[in-house]
Structure 1
Amino acid sequence: MNKSNTTYNGLPRISSDMHVSQDHIKNLLAIFAKHGLREKIGIHLLHKHDDIPKEQVKLETKLKTKPGKWTKPIPIDSLDLKNIHPVVLKFVLESVAGELRLHLDPYEFGDGPSPVSLCDVDDNNCIKEVADYITRNNLVDVIALELFDSVKDAQPRECTAEVEVGKYGTIVLPKSMMNSGKLIPTSWPNTSQPFDPDGEPDPGTHWVEAKVKDKVTHKVFVDQIKNETDLLDELVRQDVIRV
């Protein structure tokens, strides 16, 4: 888990300049679709938000009052390691016995059991095919792998937007709840839409530049937040989201 902390803090901080070629996205989504895994795994723009303190990791939990998720730093020693799962994994290229090998290092986690069995994914060679493509096209430091929630759960099926909330991490909500801000795509595909091999890839998640008091900011300042109700109320008060 401490390695995950180091991996996360070593990532580039998200910026509006980050992007992935649409051709690469289309090719990778075609691989997921070919293996029947488009609704289980996808592409994640490799990035971080604020650094997290030592001996902490990013943990994603589902919101109780709204469709969405809250990802915040959590001390490792407070985690039930049997009841969390990887959510985002970085491709890592290493030299082993003179050979270059690629493996996956998780750097963000989710509460509860994994919605995706990595054994099932590996058995049909999807990960190997994706890894070969990532390596061949020099995307190891550009693209990560993301595991999606089941389409049967209560999470939003429309595309979402992620807002930075300082030391409290990030909160992901349906895009329709956002009042304003430029949207930077960070995750593909949008699983609420059917697969179109000839169409432009539709992002599932975005990073939003919030507009607070007529000022565009990448981070919403919040203080003394005890729970998700406090956080959502503060975002409404600052006119970042609407209920």
Structure 2
Amino acid sequence: MATAVLDHQVIPGLHVAPYLSNLSRSSEVYNHLPDDADQPHVAEEHLKNLAGIFLRYNVQTKFGLHLIHGHFKLERDMVMLGKSVQEPSGCWTKPTDINEVDLENIHGHIYALTGDGFLVAYEYREGRPADMTDVKPDFFHEVIQYLQSNKLEHLLGLQVLSNEPQEKLAEFVLGANAGTVMIKETEANYGHIYRVTGWAFDQEDGIISCKGNDVHAATTKGPHKVFQDSKRIHGVRELRVALKEAEII
């Protein structure tokens, strides 16, 4: 498989605002993602090797790794777009009509490597892209080479970290109409944690640490999916009510 030449590549949603065509491709990529339960174990060796690349380029505060997965099929012209929420603190990511998206105020959040060797966002978040002027193109080139040479393209993706202090988040699936919600672990009621889905890296005294920042958790009532009927939630107030009814908060 040929590796894309990234020396002069501009990644939509990362270096510049995306176009509608980029969002359409993001939707296509999302609809081909496996469920996290169908993904194999991620070897610690690969996490540490990739952590070494992140730390060598000093981008560990900007990027992490993410287990590539989806939860449902998006309808045509819909894209997964997240927004920060408070009380509880976290992020609500839901299917959004691409024609209603403010392209100048979103950035790519999770990127997967496509068959042609390019990084494509399959989830976005509100807010302009972070400054990437100090991130060398060689960083992306090395990450892509490692994923390809170790056949990890369909397992691990690149996650853009927020500027906020990194705290462990628990994810709950609300359904195809309402999306997913990530809540700070300290503010959520949950049952069994059964999968780590996101990793951030750090180094102290020469020792590299890989922290599981994002996890999938079951509700206190048992299932991971909160609503079996995939109810539609229209706003943050309704989201809070629904999470309280489900005893998540």
Q: What TM-score results when the alignment is normalised by the length of structure 2?
A: 0.82
Q: 1:39 matched to which residue of 2?
A: 61
Does structure 1 residue 220 correspond to structure 2 residue 234? no
**What are the Cα deviations for residues 147-179 of structure 1, in whole angstroms up to 9, with x where unaligned?**
11113xxxx632111111112001111112232
Give the letter aligned to residue 135 of structure 2. Answer: V
Give the letter aligned to residue 188 of structure 1. Answer: W
Contact 2:109 2:125 in 1 (8 A): yes
Aligned counterparts of 1:69 and 1:133: Cα–Cα separation in 2: 30
**What are the Cα deviations for residues 167-211 of structure 1, in whole angstroms up to 9, with x where unaligned?**
20011111122323222100111x6xx535646622111111223
Q: 1:115 matched to which residue of 2?
A: 130
Contact 1:116 1:147 in 2 (8 A): no
Pick closer, same or farther for the CA change 1:109–1:223 going to 2, 3 Å: same
Contact 1:122 1:128 in 2 (8 A): no
Aligned counterparts of 1:36 and 1:187: Cα–Cα separation in 2: 19
Deviation at 1:116, TM superposition (A): 4.6
Does structure 1 residue 126 correspond to structure 2 residue 139? yes
Deviation at 1:29, TM superposition (A): 1.3
Higher mean alpha-carbon deviation, 228-237 vs 50-59, is at 228-237
Alignment of 1:199-210 (within 5 A): 201-210=210-219
Tell me the SS of whatever aligns to 1:93.
Answer: coil
Does structure 1 residue 181 correspond to structure 2 residue 191? yes
Alignment of 1:50-65 (within 5 A): 50-65=72-87
Give the letter aligned to residue 163 of structure 1. Answer: F
Alignment of 1:1-243 (within 5 A): 1-15=23-37, 18-94=40-116, 102-117=117-132, 120-123=134-137, 125-151=138-164, 157-166=166-175, 167-183=177-193, 184-189=195-200, 194-195=202-203, 198=207, 201-212=210-221, 216-221=222-227, 223=231, 225-241=233-249
Give the letter aligned to residue 143 of structure 1. Answer: L
Aligned counterparts of 1:19 and 1:59: Cα–Cα separation in 2: 27
Tell me the SS of whatever aligns to 1:62.
Answer: strand
Deviation at 1:109, TM superposition (A): 0.9
Query: What percent of counterpart residues are identical?
Result: 28
> C-alpha root-mean-square deviation of aligned residues, in Å?
2.0
Give the letter aligned to residue 176 of structure 1. Answer: T
Contact 1:62 1:69 in 2 (8 A): yes
Deviation at 1:50, TM superposition (A): 1.3
Q: What TM-score results when the alignment is normalised by the length of structure 1?
A: 0.84
Deviation at 1:67, TM superposition (A): 2.2
Pick closer, same or farther for the CA change 1:4–1:111 going to 2, 3 Å: same
Give the letter aligned to residue 168 of structure 1. Answer: A
Structure 1: gaps spanning 5 or more residues: 95-101
Deviation at 1:33, TM superposition (A): 1.2
Q: 2:6 matched to which residue of 1?
A: none
Deviation at 1:128, TM superposition (A): 1.1
Deviation at 1:72, TM superposition (A): 0.3
Structure 2: gaps spanning 5 or more residues: 1-22
**What are the Cα deviations for residues 18-77 of structure 1, in whole angstroms up to 9, with x where unaligned?**
431111111111211111100101111010011111100000111144321110000011
